[in-house]
Structure 1
Amino acid sequence: MPRTLIITNDFPPRAGGIEAFVHEVALRLPDVVVYCSSPSRADAAADPRFDLRLPFPVVRDAARVLLPTPRVAARAEAVARLEDREAVLYGAAAPLGLLAGRLSGTVRRQVALTHGHETGWSALPGAREALRRIGDTTDTVTHLGEYTRRRLARALSPGAAARMRRVTPGVDATRFRPGAGGGKVRDRYGLGGRPVVVCVSRLVRRKGQDTLLRAWPRVLADVPDAALLIVGDGPDAARLRSAAAGLDSVVLTGPVDPEELPAHYDAGDVFAMPCRTRRGGLDVEGLGIVYLEASATGLPVVAGDSGGAPDAVLDGETGHVVDGTLPGPTARALVRLLKDPDRAARMGGRGREWVEREWSWDRTSERLTALLTAR
């Protein structure tokens, strides 16, 4: 395994899906140095000793956001030389993959991870050309699934598109599992033995929590004792709380400690996040790791059809993919699952089997190791 330098803006203690992905990858590579931006004051105050607990060195730049400037390129090159790095892994292809040309004489291999936002870059003049340059100067640009592969390939040169490989985040099925503490979460929010639909995600419009709220009266008409548990925080929180006003069967938890997320999934009977594409295709779901975490917990899932979200569902087997722009399809899918708990349990069991087989972190690590060691 080559000595690897990870260059990224997305790293804990800041929370987020990309941050978790890059952190888990770093923990599984045997010889790593991370060069990254500085966390916000709030994130640093929340966990001031985070870097010190890691089993590898972290070089923090003074900047809150790393950009592919000459200064950052020189610093990255200096770190690579001083730490005797053989390979570079970009935590997100855009924009830091633009450093690859400068580092090509210092390291042997360069791999750029993509997460979904790069598909928006592929549709914008200027950004599309930047992606093409990243593809031509790195050895591999990864993709999450067929949707992201198609979108990114349009922006890349034919040679770079042919070198693309699939690398996805994994799921820790020992952490996200049935029996992870859902009973205590139900007690905390007064849910008792009611049928519970749970949504775990950042509260932003693309995720579709508002579609869930619009669908909810229709669900209650068929399943009167159902409850909706919306877990998370974000810029759409105030609007969602306003929309949920007067609905006693809806609970918005606010921010939840990451250690408690498995228990919040486990509090549900069905997982739903009817995500939708926005802004003419610029705001799109890259994959939706939450669907896989829910599947690992043994829940059937209802997913929106935005971008690569369907790649995280075996439609009709582990859950249902619906049009996330309309409340009707979401309501119908939820009612079917809530009214047929045996079928829901079979779907949840199938989902857990699939995650354990195809979405483990070991599998992700194997794929990435192969890319970093290729010659």
Structure 2
Amino acid sequence: MSRTLIITNDFPPRAGGIESFVHELALRRPEGSVVVYCSSPAAADRAGDPHFDVRQPFPIVRDGAGVLLPTPRVAERARVIAGLEGCDSVLYGAAAPLGLLAPALRSVARRQVAITHGHETGWTVVPGAGAALRGIGSSVDTVTYLGEYTRRRLARSLSPAATARMRRLAPGVDTGRFRPGAGGEAVRARLGLGGRPVVVCVSRMVPRKGQDTLIRAWPRVLKDVPDAALLLVGDGPYASRLRSAAEGVESVYFTGPVRAEELPAHYDAGDVFAMPCRTRRGGLDVEGLGMVYLEASATGLPVVAGASGGAPDAVLEGETGHVVDGSLPGPTARALIRLLKDPDRAALMGARGREWVGREWTWDRTLDRLESLLSDS
């Protein structure tokens, strides 16, 4: 059987969107076809799930370093692992910077595929980093992209030949997990939300995601929908500042960190999903796609997304939700008020979103594309 060596810094038990994507790809590949070579998790991540590695249905080789870099040592260890495990293809969990290992691994890898997630678009505006991206694109067989935004941005740095070899590879959504009726009533009951209209945001708490914009918009929403509640799900380095910003603002609820298996129920607790993300730092901090919008759509919710990077690729404007300027509270407030005051229209948009995700954003489509890239078929 052909086997693939996945080389990555982004892997559980560390939490995050990239980590989940790479883990799902590994889990969903045929049994016996994957080996993972990755960095060691931080102590806090390891303590949260100390037996993660042994529970996986594939071998995991942890490097002693907390971050894998494209050094001769890492390249040599990857060659040894590929030889011992019979791997003939390599999948880089994030193109930059580990895709720079590609020339050193060409002798053991029939195919090499580098996945991008959105943050690599920032490399296109950093002096010197664009040249590194160009080298990665020229060394691997394929650089993947999430959507049209990331394809256009990455193409600025890639050669014409590498651009022509680019292929789309985005995460899928498990519509069996993310669905209407996934446990939202229990979440509402636990938080005392009852039958109130609820706007939910599920996301890591960092400035780009726009939870602060939601908090600033919320008093305006309450003027038109006085019984509405804002439910902020997740944790992160910006959490304490968000809690401070919400002091004195009515009807804002924080859940703190939520385990992955409980996320579908928290989406299902909402009537509208909103994450008004915005681009920061001159384009260095940008949303690559925003799987949360698709998970919310699968749960039957209309979505309000910020116009950052590839986030609009996850929304059919006017059909599954709305895209707004996430840097300002006014557009966000107006979009939320329209949806909350017209629940029939909101429900139609949610149903359209679930149908769209079930047709276009399945894991089966993602895995078929990956198999084609790894096999060159």
Q: Tell me the TM-score normalized by structure 2.
A: 0.98
Q: Which residue of 2 aligns with 1:193?
A: 195
**How does 1:173-322 map onto structure 2 within 5 Å?**
173-322=175-324
CA deviations 1:311-344 (Å, max 9, x no partner) are 0000100000001111111000000000000000
**Cα distance, 1:291 vs. partner?**
0.2
Q: Distance in 2 between matches of 1:295 and 1:147?
A: 20
**Cα distance, 1:44 vs. partner?**
1.2
Q: Check the 8 A contact 1:2/1:372 in 2, yes or no.
A: no
Q: Which residue of 1 aligns with 2:22?
A: 22
The percentage of counterpart residues that share the same residue type is: 78
**Cα distance, 1:247 vs. partner?**
2.1
Q: Distance in 1 between matches of 2:117 and 2:140?
A: 16
SS of 2:242's equivalent? helix
Q: Distance in 2 between matches of 1:327 and 1:158?
A: 41
CA deviations 1:89-117 (Å, max 9, x no partner) are 00000000000000011110000000000
Q: Which residue of 1 aligns with 2:162?
A: 160
CA deviations 1:141-184 (Å, max 9, x no partner) are 00000100000000001100110000001111100100000011
The code of the aligned residue for 2:24 comes to E
Q: Distance in 1 between matches of 2:365 and 2:91?
A: 17
The code of the aligned residue for 2:5 comes to L
Q: Which residue of 2 aligns with 1:3?
A: 3
The code of the aligned residue for 1:11 comes to F
Q: Distance in 1 between matches of 2:48 and 2:329?
A: 38
SS of 2:231's equivalent? strand
Are positions 1:332 and 2:334 aligned together?
yes
SS of 2:235's equivalent? coil
Q: Check the 8 A contact 1:9/1:65 in 2, yes or no.
A: yes
Q: Distance in 1 between matches of 2:136 and 2:257?
A: 36
SS of 1:122's equivalent? helix
Q: Distance in 2 between matches of 1:75 and 1:343?
A: 56
Q: Which residue of 2 aligns with 1:44?
A: 46
Q: Distance in 1 between matches of 2:56 and 2:215?
A: 41
**Cα distance, 1:246 vs. partner?**
1.5
Q: Distance in 2 between matches of 1:338 and 1:34?
A: 45
| Number of equivalent positions | 375
**Cα distance, 1:35 vs. partner?**
0.3
Are positions 1:135 and 2:134 aligned together?
no
**Cα distance, 1:249 vs. partner?**
0.4
Q: Distance in 2 between matches of 1:106 and 1:3?
A: 12
The code of the aligned residue for 2:26 comes to A
**Cα distance, 1:298 vs. partner?**
0.2
Q: Which residue of 1 aligns with 2:13?
A: 13
Runs of 4+ in 1 over 6 A off after TM superposition: none
SS of 2:125's equivalent? coil
CA deviations 1:72-92 (Å, max 9, x no partner) are 011011111111111000000
CA RMSD of aligned residues (A): 0.8
Unpaired runs of 5+ residues, structure 1, are none
**How does 1:335-346 map onto structure 2 within 5 Å?**
335-346=337-348
SS of 1:347's equivalent? helix
SS of 2:143's equivalent? strand
Q: Distance in 1 between matches of 2:11 and 2:240?
A: 27
Q: Which residue of 1 aligns with 2:368?
A: 366
Q: Distance in 2 between matches of 1:332 and 1:53?
A: 47
Q: Tell me the TM-score normalized by structure 1.
A: 0.99
